[in-house]
């Protein structure tokens, strides 16, 4: 077997770890609760994904910025910080912020439960499927801005600066983002929509 083939198989096995799938299903169940609270019987699978993104962006924006000091200090250890997160987890959080063009938190930090932080980091990792698409960087940044509540002008300036402004452009940001995530969940984790607004393994 070639090195490339071995690497590919190893990657697939890593992506499909049972813990990754279980975590994703737990997060999706939480997203279903958010969507149901917002839209009741009108909620869809797409609403589940989008509400998770909104909550995740809000959670990360409120997370203390202690990780910046640790990342620039050159210290790397596996003990847990007062935030309840290891340096490895904080590095992943910082990477998510940079890749998603997130603003630094500019007010008094609020300590949040570790479970919320972990879910937010995990959900925002799903944006890798968005960034992998054509013009994915612009799309992911626009999606984060939209999830944060930015007005349509800002979202369109990020996503499609050359187009004539229209509500369709903003709608496209949301639908394309959710579509790529749904596809990624299916292809990488084997998770697909089920009855109502639930999700299950294929």
- Those residues with Cβ within 8 angstroms of residue 111's Cβ, 6 or more apart along the chain or in another chain: 64, 83
Q: For 57-92, what is each residue's pLDDT tens digit?
A: 998 888 766 443 333 343 333 333 444 455 566 666
Assess if residue 8 is contained within a domain: no
pLDDT band at 113 (very low <50, low <70, confident <90, very high): very low
Q: With 90 as the cut, is the pLDDT of residue 15 above it?
A: no
Assess if residue 4 is contained within a domain: no
Round the average pLDDT of the chain to a whole number and report it. Answer: 78
Q: Which residue has the higher pLDDT, 93 or 145?
A: 145
Query: Structure tokens of 87?
Result: 């340096």
The domain of 107 spans: 17-201
Assess if residue 25 is contained within a domain: yes
Assess if residue 7 is contained within a domain: no
Q: What pLDDT, on a 0 to 100 scale, did the predictor assign at position 61?
A: 83
In order, the DSSP letters of 111-126 are: ---HHHHHHHHHHHHT
Into how many domains does the chain fold? 1
Assess if residue 101 is contained within a domain: yes
Q: What pLDDT, on a 0 to 100 scale, did the predictor assign at position 5?
A: 43
Assess if residue 151 is contained within a domain: yes
Assess if residue 22 is contained within a domain: yes
Q: pTM for the complete prediction?
A: 0.71
| Strand ranges, E, within the chain | 191-193, 199-201
pLDDT band at 126 (very low <50, low <70, confident <90, very high): very high
Q: Which residue has the higher pLDDT, 137 or 5?
A: 137
Bridge partners of residue 192, in order along the sequence: 200
Q: For 140-167, what is each residue's pLDDT tens digit?
A: 999 999 999 999 999 999 999 999 989 9
pLDDT band at 23 (very low <50, low <70, confident <90, very high): very high
Query: Structure tokens of 150?
Result: 């930015």
Assess if residue 110 is contained within a domain: yes
Q: With 70 as the cut, is the pLDDT of residue 178 above it?
A: yes
């Amino acid at each position: 077997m070639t090195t490339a083939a071995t690497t590919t198989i190893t990657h697939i096995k890593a992506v499909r770890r049972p813990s990754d799938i279980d975590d994703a299903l737990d997060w999706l169940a939480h997203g279903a609760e958010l969507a149901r609270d917002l839209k009741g019987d009108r909620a869809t699978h797409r609403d589940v994904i989008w509400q998770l993104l909104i909550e995740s962006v809000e959670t990360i924006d409120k997370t203390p910025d202690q990780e910046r000091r640790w990342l620039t200090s050159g210290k790397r250890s596996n003990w847990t910080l007062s935030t309840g997160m290891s340096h490895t987890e904080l590095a992943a959080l910082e990477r998510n912020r940079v890749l998603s063009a997130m603003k630094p938190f500019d007010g008094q930090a609020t300590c949040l439960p570790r479970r919320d932080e972990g879910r937010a980091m995990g959900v925002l990792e799903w944006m890798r499927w968005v960034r992998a698409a054509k013009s994915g960087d612009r799309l992911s940044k626009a999606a984060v801005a939209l999830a944060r509540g930015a007005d349509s002008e800002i979202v369109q300036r990020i996503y499609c600066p050359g187009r004539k402004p229209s509500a369709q452009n903003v709608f496209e940001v949301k639908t394309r983002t959710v579509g790529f995530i749904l596809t990624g969940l299916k292809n990488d984790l084997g998770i697909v929509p089920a009855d109502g607004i639930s999700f299950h393994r294929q």
